[in-house]
Amino acid sequence: MATELPLYKNNGPKKLQRPSRHIIIVLMLSAILIIFLLNRHVDQLPKPTQQDQVLWDVQAELPPPPKIQPTQPTQQQQQQPHKNSSQLSNDIKPASPHSDQHSRLSRPFADLTEDPDINQSGHYTHLVVIGSEASQGSRRQLIRSKYFGLRDNLLPCMQYDTDIYYTFWIHGGLPLPDTPLRRTYESEKMEWNDMQEIPARLEFEQANVIAWVENTLLVEKKITYDYLIIQDGYSFIQLSKTKFELDSGVIGQYTHSPYSLTSDTPLNFVWGTFDSTKSKSKSKNQNENQNKNQNVIVGSTAAKLALSKQSEIHHLYPDLPLLTGMYELYNSIQDTLKAVTDASLEPEAAAEEQERLIPAFIREDGPEGTQRFIDWENNIESVHAEDIVVKNVYQDSEFAALSDWSYLKPTRVCHQHGSFSANHPPVHPMDDDQDMSEDSEETDDETSSKDYSNSGGMGPSVAVLTSSYIYDACMEPSATRAAMNKRAYALEHNYAFVARSAEFAQQSATGHVRRKAVWGKIDVLEKALPKYDWVFWLDMDAVIMDQKRSLDDLLEELKADYQKQDNGFQFDKQIDMIVSRPSKDRMINAGVLLIRNTPWAMQFLRDLQDMSGWYQKGPSYEQGAMWELLQKPGNRERVLLLDRDDHTFNTFPSYYIPGDFVVHFAPDKCPNDAVVKGLNAADLILQGQRITAKDIE
């Protein structure tokens, strides 16, 4: 009942009960944790000196200050006492949680427990040549992704170092100059470097492909192979299944009629379709007929044999693809060859000689064999697990559906370790969707300040980054060649080379304010930086003149010069970006810069994206925004400004002296002609010739 409930009575002060010991311990631990979290991201940055304020003041209208080398501390800096952590500025905005998420990505390696078999021999078990017209860019990207797992080029294959090599055989001529299609095509060449342009007069035919492989690929690139897989651009091939069957030596292992490759002559075979009734007529249906006959897998011995008998085959069967004609030829002469060898040799020796003289034909369209090279019937249900080739797949959506339907497993063409110091063993960048939770247990601070040059054999991963976006007809003639100049440099020093265009093209769709296309540079930097330790950005119109000058050496020299200033700070903990201000420029030149993967750098790029006042503010655009943002405390202390420096890594043509690293051709008008002149000069330097400013101005 209600009257039985106890009533509240105030009987004066009562003796407080002592808190539980467990409660006290929990409260103390909570307080320590809160203090730790609040102080975790406090950056230890120096307060700007008066000289620093003048140097970085973007609004100052005073005459240009005398050149200040980063290697020479001023008298004021020499007299200034070293600052400890308690004296550092506390007014710096801490890195956002977004940037902290990237701090552990400075070493984006794949599973280091993996011990891959690195192929550096130039010999590949499988050589895949895919016929493709220049306009088939979307299909090529699907093939890269579905066949080889190459979704984008942020972690590029600098060298194919597994047992498989692929290339696109571009036939039918190139797109017309000064067209959107031509610019898109050139961008793709810069980004992937996996396309071989064939003279327009050469059709995609088995004879032409095999002759090119044997006479050009072997001679120019020193590439040899066991199995040649030829596929046209409108077919789908179960590449992983094909590779498995070839590696096992049993074709059609799980079918009712398997074929075992011989142990003595395992490369003397042709696997495909050989229906001679579907001749290669020169009619309006030529492409259709060719598509039905060009897909084939051939051993290197049989390929050489086919070339040696090409004239005879063409004379007897002028309307047939080379290997179909070869099939018909040996059908007509094999009985004679067998009779001759049986009569002249012992049975065992005769059998071996017949295997050497007569290639095996594994037919996928005959009554005695399986039917695993099929035509697309416009539904995936008609494709079976054992099928190898599906021909005449014209829609990209159908190609993608076939990949999913068949559970196609990508075949690795490289280990994607292409970014590592030349002085250290290779390291393995993380795949785009690899789980990062099992990575190193180092803290964010340890990661962002770690000196990888002394990390027990783990050199810094470096990417050479540039634009592959061609705005108009101006740079169309020289853009690809300029990218190849940078790619060659990356290969020379075992760096990654990354060229990007999509981020530039997307600037018209960046929110409610349309940005100038050059802002794509910032998008590219944000995308690539988390995958590497350092990114070396070069504009399209920058040319590397000294291919032997490594970034490793450059960073070590800048580090040594920085330490000579005796300013109390370490290069590896303080400097996250290196950029120059040329002698006659009002601000930095961001056409060439080095940026380190740290929380500060990621936050800096995030803040830069918000500088909307510069989106359409020419002529500086993103460069002006970067210069303005660098004035803020917490930013300028992180940048090594090569002030009034025309030679370290960003030289204009008129200032060039022999030995300069990079020349930046940035005239007011179209830079194409100037870039071509610079590229020609760079080639002459590689040949040992001496170049002066007069040769490139």
Residue of 119, 120, 124, 148 whose CA lies nearest to 223:
124
In the structure, what pLDDT confidence band is assigned to residue 36 with cuts at 50, 70 and 90?
Answer: low
User: In 299-395, which residue ranges form alpha helices assigned H by DSSP?
Assistant: 300-308, 310-316, 322-344, 347-357
Percent of the chain with pLDDT over 70: 73
Which residues, including other chains, have CB under 8 Å from residue 318's CB and lie 6 or more apart? none
Q: Using an 8 Å Cβ cutoff, are 109 and 460 in contact?
A: no
Please write the tens of the pLDDT for every residue from 471-525: 999 999 999 999 999 999 999 999 999 999 999 999 987 666 789 999 999 999 9
Place of tokens 């304020």: 53
φ and ψ at 370, to 5 degrees?
-85, 175
Q: List, in order, residues 6 or more apart from 17 with CB less than 8 Å away.
A: none
Candidate ranges 29-38, 57-66, 100-109, 205-214; pick with highest mean pLDDT: 205-214
- Answer whether the bond into residue 70 is a cis peptide, omega within 30°: no
**CATH fold for domain 445-696:** Spore Coat Polysaccharide Biosynthesis Protein SpsA; Chain A (3.90.550)
pLDDT digits (tens, 9 = 90+) for 655-672: 999 999 999 998 889 999
Give Cβ neighbours of residue 541 (< 8 Å, ≥ 6 apart). 475, 482, 591, 664, 665, 666, 671, 674, 675
Percent of the chain with pLDDT over 90: 66
Residue showing tokens 């090599």: 165
- Taking CA atoms, 204 is separated from 164, 201, 210, 232, 321, in Å, by 21, 10, 10, 8, 10
Which residues have CB under 8 Å from 647's CB, separation 6+?
655, 657, 660, 661
Q: What is the pLDDT of residue 278?
A: 59
- Region 45-56: mean pLDDT is 40
Query: Domain segments of the chain: what residues?
Result: 123-405, 445-696
Inter-axis angle of helices 180-192 and 479-492, to 10 degrees? 0
pLDDT tier at 566, thresholds 50, 70, 90: low
Query: Taking phi first (over 0 means left), then psi (-120 to 50 degrees means alpha), and beta for anything else, what does residue 599 get?
Result: alpha
At residue 369, does pLDDT exceed 60? Answer: no
pLDDT exceeds 80 at position 29? no
Query: What is the reported pLDDT for 275?
Result: 83
Confidence of residue 82 (pLDDT cuts 50, 70, 90): very low
Mean pLDDT of the chain: 81
What pLDDT shows up at residue 9? 32
Let me know if 441 is exposed, middle or buried by CB neighbors in 10 A (0-12, 13-18, 19+): exposed
Q: Given a cut of 80, is residue 168 above it in pLDDT?
A: yes
In this structure, what are the phi and psi dihedrals at residue 528, rounded to the nearest 5 degrees?
Answer: -90, -35
Looking at residue 49, its pLDDT comes to 42
Whether residue 453 has pLDDT greater than 60: no
Radius of gyration (C-alpha) of the chain in whole angstroms: 32
- Looking at residue 561, its amino acid is D
